Amino acid sequence: MPADRPRTVYFFGTCVIDLFYPGAGLAGMELLKRQGVRVVFPPEQSCCGQPARNSGYFDEARAVALRQMRAFPEDWPIVVPSGSCAGMMKTHYPDLFDGRPQHGQARAFAARVFELTDFLVNVLDVRLDDRGPPLAVTWHGSCHSMREMGVVDQPKALLRQLANVTLVENPREKECCGFGGTFSVRQPEISAAMVADKVAALEETGTARVVSGDCGCLMNITGAMARSGSPMGGQHIAEFLLERIDG
């Protein structure tokens, strides 16, 4: 329960959102702002460092991680519109600096990291007023949001608050979409098979839109949808929620 509701939060935009989906970032900040929270977007931020870490380039990942740790100096929560980037900062920053002088700093930083939907539900306890027309959507949870951040029910709870939105769950919700960062180009055939299956599972819901909290997955899934001529599209949950409450 939201014992101490923060007055100010940091927003970490993520590199994918920065370049490809800035609308999702703006929507995330707007949602927070409408809850009466001051939102600060430090311009020195760049990327969580996950691409380097997952590729085994630990020194490079540490250099980038340190830059982020410096960019968010105040003791405010850091809200991240991506379970994957949040997972990197929350679980892997401490690991990356294990046995190094910055370990304490990394742990303190990690403790301030929140995934956006988790923050909206469990810290801000938001109530959403749906003004949009009736619509059915399905949800795609990213592997890292589910398994590193424990974010499974929070986004669905938000979607279920929307009176005119029907959430149709898809049969393979817990299965990876096949993105995996560099995996998608290092193992292109396997990744292609995975995303094809994912699109098929989403299409089975009969909905026109998949909503997700991670733009990496969305880029993969909607890219495959567009390429295969699927009638479906996708949207980041922050943009979707904002669209609904604005009507």
Partner 1 sequence: MGDFTARAPKALNDPTLRRNFRRAMDGLMAKRALQFQDRDAWDALRARGAAAKARVVARLPELLEQLEARLTANGIRVHWAETTAQANAIVLDILRQAGARTVIKGKSMVSEEMELNHHLEAHGIAAIESDLGEYIIQLAGEAPSHIVMPCIHKNKAEIAALFAENIEGLGYTEDVDELTAAARRALRGRFAEADAGISGVNFAVAETGTLVLVENEGNGRLSTTLPPLHIAVMGIEKLAERLDDLPALLALLPRSATGQPITTYVNMISHPRRDGERDGPKAVHVVLLDSGRSRVHADPELRDTLRCIRCGACMNHCPVYSRVGGHTYKFVYPGPIGKILTPQLEGLDCAGDQPHASTLCNACVEVCPVRIPIADILVRLRAESIDPSGSAAVKGAGSMRKSLESLTWKGWALMHSVPLLHRLGTWALSRLGNLIPAAALPPLSTWMRVRSRPVFAPKTLHELAREKGYGNE
Positions 187 through 206 that interact with partner 1 (CB under 8 A): 187-197
Which residues are CB-contacts of 149 (< 8 A; sequence separation ≥ 6)?
83, 86, 87, 90, 115, 118
Residues between 143 and 182 with contacts to partner 1, criterion CB under 8 A: 143-144, 147-148, 174-176, 178-182
String marking each residue 79-98 x if it binds partner 1 according to CB under 8 A: ----------------x---
The least CB distance from residue 101 to partner 1, in Å, is: 17
By C-beta, is 154 or 220 nearer to partner 1? 220
Q: Which stretch binds partner 1 (CB under 8 A): 118-126, 158-166, 206-214, 217-225?
A: 217-225
Say how many residues touch partner 1, by CB under 8 A. 73
By C-beta, is 87 or 165 nearer to partner 1? 87
Alpha-carbon distances, residue 184 vs 14, 102, 130, 219, 226 (angstroms) = 19, 32, 36, 11, 17
String marking each residue 97-136 x if it binds partner 1 according to CB under 8 A: ----------------------------------------
String marking each residue 30-69 x if it binds partner 1 according to CB under 8 A: ---------xxxxxx-xx-x-xxxxxxxxxxx-xx-xx--
The least CB distance from residue 48 to partner 1, in Å, is: 9
